[in-house]
Amino acid sequence: MKLTGAQVMVKSLELEGISTLFGYPGAAISPFYDALLDSTLTHILTRNEQGAAHAASGYSRVTGKVGVCVSTSGPGATNLITGIATAYSDSIPLVAITGQVQSDLIGRDVFQEADITGATEPFCKHNYLVKDVRELPRIIKEAFHIAATGRPGPVVIDVPIDIQTQEIDFKYPKEIEIRGYKPNYKGHPQQIKKIAEAISIAKSPLICAGGGVITAKASDLLTKFAEKCGIPVVTTLMGIGTIPGDHSLNLGMLGSHGVYCANYAVNNTDLLILIGARVGDRALGTTGKIAQKAKIIHIDIDPAEIGKNVSTSIPVVGDVRLVLEDLLEIVKGGDTKQWLSMVLETKQTRKKTIDIQTKNVNPRLVIDSLSQKLSADAIMTTEVGQNQIWAANSFIARKAGAFITSGGLGTMGYGLPAAIGVKKGKPESTVVVVAGDGSFQMSMPELGTIKQEGLAIKIIIFNNSRLGMVRELQKNRHNGRYSQVYLDSNPDFVKLAEAYGFSAERITDNSQVDSALDRLLADDKTYILECIVDPEEATV
Amino acid sequence: MAKHTLSVLVENRSGVLSRVSGLFSRRGFNIDSLAVGVTEDPEVSRMTIVVDGDDYTVEQVNKQLNKLIDVIKIRTLEPSESVSRELALIKVNATPANRTEIMQIVEIFRAKIVDVSKNTLTVEASGTNEKVTALEDMLRQFGIKEIVRTGTIAIERGNKYIKAGNNEE
């Protein structure tokens, strides 16, 4: 079958089982967009390429499929970059397809030329510049394989426009042979035995669950493991939902923005079991220093994570799900009653009651009330900043994948476009975006995408007319010398919503929260709830 | 800090060198030298990388390099169980008065004179990094006009060898 490169790209995506992709056309990718017209693929036109990458990321996180985003060359491709780096930090499988200028003009600084493979090299799992159309089927096959297997991540395919128009006899490869890429899935039995032994003698063991547990679809096994051995669980920001938020063994999020109980447990454990967690600096506090009195077990599919940020007594390289399956067969658990009663008491006594006397709207009250009203299959995406931490610490994620955030890179402007992908991937779920007034404005034009696609997304904006997280940092670290954190020209978000044809309201007092949330959730379209928050409101 | 020699088999494709060198700069690892050339298999190149760092650094270099899709195999070479060489070309000032002395030094180091002009001699030397450095030191007194060094290449002694497939001994 003779196909052009562009037709090969489209056909290969279909053969990879892709049904939805996110992108923004331009000259250097125009043959691909032309071929798209004759395909079954659904394309979502975002308002910026960065939105396309984040939407593909959100889509991937709820469907388990590889997210696909497309852009043209030059500025289109560079706009994708933040989304690619975000996916890399959070290990999200993504294939980013970029158009490139004509092959023989590469390197001549022609119109809309940028070296996107060079630019993305440090923060993508792999990338390709296609130089021969005959290599295109193999490259696409490899790209999807690399993105989705091992530790997932983004892969970039840069396709010059002339490659898209050249014809080949199309045959999609069935097998892949990449000599240097053979992920190790099965954990070493001897190491797993060592874990079981360490647990049997530990007095105060603690599990730290990260996003890798969600990627490995192992949250059910993690909960079973914790229950069987009577071990409490702390989660990282990316690990929220790995054990249900209302589970008695869940101590909450650890780290500099985590809860007291989780950090108390980390400081007093004698056996810390890190599972699919890279122990980033926000979780550690000080790099390399965590649970100093404890023996450390680290289970991760990426060997490079083990020993990178914390030295480990028992390293296990393997797929978290397979390792937990093997471990559950042999582990018996020790006597943790005293330890459990101690940490659970800490959880009870230090549980903050939400102060409803706060000035304006208390964001914790909003998230807490929202959690009570949402069903278990609801999905929350967040922006980055104070809103993210308020949401992380107050939202009850009842299952894995219910809380979607930019954990590693901390990308403002992630939540809104990610929600578009989430809603496309799981149309039956209620999708709520939690945003700050600053981060919301980073991707605000994506309201147009929501409108065009007719999506029903619930948006809560915590408006304190500040870059709240930075302001707090300046308060604590720079003696209150506030620099460039005032957002004095915020638009009227209610009127803005109305301009797009969405319903919206603004609340200024805690007494309005309950009924406003009811209206937000009852509306069958996109709804914006703006909550005026006291700028002095602390993050934790 | 100790020097460690890594022998790395990579796919012989464009862009691989930049991926490898980029990884070093991005992660703050210090490359002492990097030499690359094609192997007996034209689809595979071998990089000899000398890294300056402690055990943590070498372990991380190893693991992070392994993550690159184009990297096929890595081995850390023990100095006692491997042979390492470097090639250097040194262009040194030479006058009729000191030409003989230079030739004697070259002879002692088992180096070769590969080019000669009225005012210069060009010396080719191969050996360990230390030997080449020692020769360079000896020739410095005459005035070195130009020097080019390849960086270290290394190979394991005896029957051990690293192949892209699984047929290692």
Q: Which residues contact A106 (CB under 8 A, 6 or more apart)?
A: A100, A113, A160
| pLDDT recorded at residue A271 | 96
A525 and A501 share one domain: yes
Q: How big is the A-B interface in CB pairs under 8 Å?
A: 41
- The answer on A296 and A205 residing in a single domain is yes
Partner-chain contact B15 A117, CB within 8 Å: yes
Q: Look up residue A73 and give its two tokens.
A: 């060359």
pLDDT score for A358:
77
| Residue A61 counted as domain residue | yes
**What is the phi/psi pair of residue A11, to 5°?**
-60, -40
Same domain, yes or no: A98 and A231: no
Question: Are the C-beta atoms of residues A122 and B26 closer than 8 Å to each other?
Answer: yes
CB-side exposure of A321: number of CA atoms within 13 Å?
A: 9
Burial (CB count <10 Å: 0-12, 13-18, 19+), residue B28: exposed
> Does residue A13 sit in the same domain as residue A149?
yes
Q: Do A121 and B56 touch (CB under 8 A)?
A: no
Residue A74: inside a domain: yes
Task: Summarize pLDDT for B79-100 with one digit per residue, the tens.
Answer: 999 999 999 999 999 999 999 9
A147 and A198 inside one domain: no
- Cα separation, A39 vs B139, in Å, equals 71
Please answer whether residues A55 and A46 qualify as being in contact, where contact means their C-beta atoms are separated by less than 8 angstroms: yes
- Residue A462 has what pLDDT? 98
Whether residue B1 is predicted with pLDDT greater than 80 in this model: the reply is no
Pairing between strand A154-160 and A205-209?
A: unpaired
**Whole-model pTM?**
0.95
Return the bridge partners of B75, or none. Answer: B7
B67 and chain A in contact, CB less than 8 A: yes
Looking at the fold, whether A307 and A426 belong to one and the same domain comes out as: no
Return the pLDDT at A286: 59
The residues near A66 (Cβ < 8 Å, ≥ 6 apart) are A16, A18, A60, A93, A94, A95, A144, A147, A148
Mean per-residue pLDDT, A183-200: 96
Residue B166: the pLDDT is 52
Chain B contact probe: residue of A178, A179, A300 with most B CBs at under 10 A: A179
The whole-number pLDDT of residue A1 equals 85
- Supply the pLDDT for residue A311: 87
Give me chain A's average pLDDT, please. 96
Q: What is the CATH number of the domain that holds A125?
A: 3.40.50.970
Whether residue A63 is contained in a domain is answered as yes
Is A175 part of any domain? no
Residue-level pLDDT at A293? 82
- Average pLDDT (A391-408) is 97
* pLDDT value at A287 more than 70: no
- Note whether B69 contacts A307, CB cutoff 8 Å: no
Given a cut of 70, is residue A98 above it in pLDDT? yes
Cα–Cα distance, B36 to B4 (Å, whole number)? 16
Which residue, of A115, A137, A169, is where some domain finishes?
A169
CA distance B51 to B58: 7
- The CA distance from A28 to A72, in Å, is 5
Chain B residues inside the 8 Å CB shell of A117: 15
Structure tokens at A247: 């589970």
Say how far apart CA A413 and CA A438 lie, in whole Å: 9
Minimal C-alpha gap between B64 and chain A (Å): 6
- Structure tokens belonging to residue A336: 């943790």
Q: What is the pLDDT of residues A459-508, one digit of tens each?
A: 999 999 999 999 999 999 999 999 999 999 999 999 999 999 999 999 99
Residue A525, pLDDT above cutoff 70 = yes
H/E segment holding residue B77: strand B71-77
Q: Given a cut of 60, is residue A211 above it in pLDDT? A: yes
Of residues A287 and B92, more confidently modeled: B92
Instruction: Judge whether residue B73 has pLDDT over 90.
Output: yes
For chain A, percent of residues with pLDDT exceeding 70: 98
Do A457 and A486 fall into the same domain?
A: yes
- A485 in a structural domain: yes
Those residues whose C-beta lies under 8 Å from the C-beta of residue B126, and which sit 6 or more positions away, are B85, B86, B87, B88, B111, B132
Q: Would you say residue A295 lies in a domain?
A: yes
Identify the residue whose tokens are 């690159």: B68
Asked whether the beta carbons of residue A304 and residue B56 sit closer than 8 angstroms, the reply is no
Q: Give pairs for A199-203: CB < 8 Å, separation 24+.
A: A199/A229, A199/A231, A199/A271, A199/A273, A199/A331, A199/A332, A199/A333, A199/A334, A200/A331, A200/A332, A200/A333, A200/A334, A201/A334, A202/A270, A202/A271, A202/A295, A202/A334, A202/A336, A203/A270, A203/A334, A203/A335, A203/A336, A203/A338, A203/A339
Residue A333 shares a structural domain with residue A205: yes
Q: Among the three residues A295, A319, A349, which one is the final residue of a domain in this structure?
A: A349
Residue A355 lies in a domain: no
> Tell me, what amino acid is at A110?
V
Model confidence at A190, pLDDT cuts 50, 70, 90, reads very high
**pLDDT given for residue A325 in this prediction:** 98
Q: Which of B22, B23, B72 sits opposite A180 (nearest CB)?
A: B72
Tell me, yes or no, whether A62 lies in a domain.
yes
Residue B169 confidence (pLDDT) above 50: no
| Rounded Cα distance, A344 and B47, in Å | 54
Q: Which two tokens stand for residue A88?
A: 């890399």
Sequence-ordered list of residues with C-beta below 8 angstroms from that of B140, at least 6 positions apart, any chain: none
Q: What is the mean pLDDT of residues A417-445?
A: 98
Minimum CA–CA partner of B57 in chain A: A308
The reported pLDDT for the residue numbered B14 is 87
Look at residue A292 and tell me whether its pLDDT is greater than 80: no
Full residue range of the structural domain in which residue A491 is found: 363-532
Domains of chain B listed by start with CATH number:
2-77 (3.30.70.260), 83-153 (3.30.70.1150)
Q: What count of other Cβ atoms lies within 10 Å of the Cβ of residue A255?
A: 24
- Looking at the fold, whether A286 and A374 belong to one and the same domain comes out as no
Contact A438, A84 (CB under 8 A): no
What's the average model confidence in pLDDT over B124-139?
95
pLDDT at A353 over 90: no
A280 in the same domain as A196: yes
Q: Comparing C-alpha atoms, which of A175, A105, A161 is closest to residue A130? A: A161
Question: What's the rounded mean pLDDT across residues A350-375?
Answer: 87
Residues in chain B: 169
A407 and A514 housed in the same domain: yes
Is residue A467 within 8 A of residue A491, CB to CB? The reply is: no
Same domain, A373 and A501: yes
Determine contact: A179 vs chain B, CB below 8 A.
yes
The C-alpha angle A351, A352, A354, rounded to 5 degrees, equals 140
What CATH number is attached to the domain comprising A334?
A: 3.40.50.1220
Least Cα distance to A141 among A66, A83, A32 occurs for A66
Tell me which chain B residues have a C-beta less than 8 angstroms from the C-beta of A304. Answer: 60, 63-64, 66-67
Last residue of a domain, one of A349, A383, A404: A349
State the average pLDDT over residues B33-39. 94
B63 reaches A (C-beta below 8 A): yes
Q: How many domains does chain A have?
A: 3
Lowest mean pLDDT among A7-16, A156-165, A293-302, A354-363: A354-363
For residues A174 and B12, what is the distance between their CA atoms, to the nearest angstrom? Answer: 24
DSSP state of A360: B
Q: Which residues contact A468 (CB under 8 A, 6 or more apart)?
A: A385, A386, A387, A436, A438, A462, A485, A533, A535, A537, A539
Q: Give yes or no for a contact between A303 and A317, defined as CB atoms under 8 angstroms apart.
A: yes
ipTM: 0.89
Give the residue-averaged pLDDT of A151-168. Answer: 98
Look at residue B168 and tell me whether its pLDDT is greater than 60: no
In the chain, the amino acid numbered A223 is T
Interchain CB contact of B167 with A (< 8 Å): no
Q: Annotate A409-445 with b (16+ C-beta within 10 A) or e (fewer).
A: bbbbbbbbbbbbbbbbbbeebbbbbbbbbbbbbbbbe
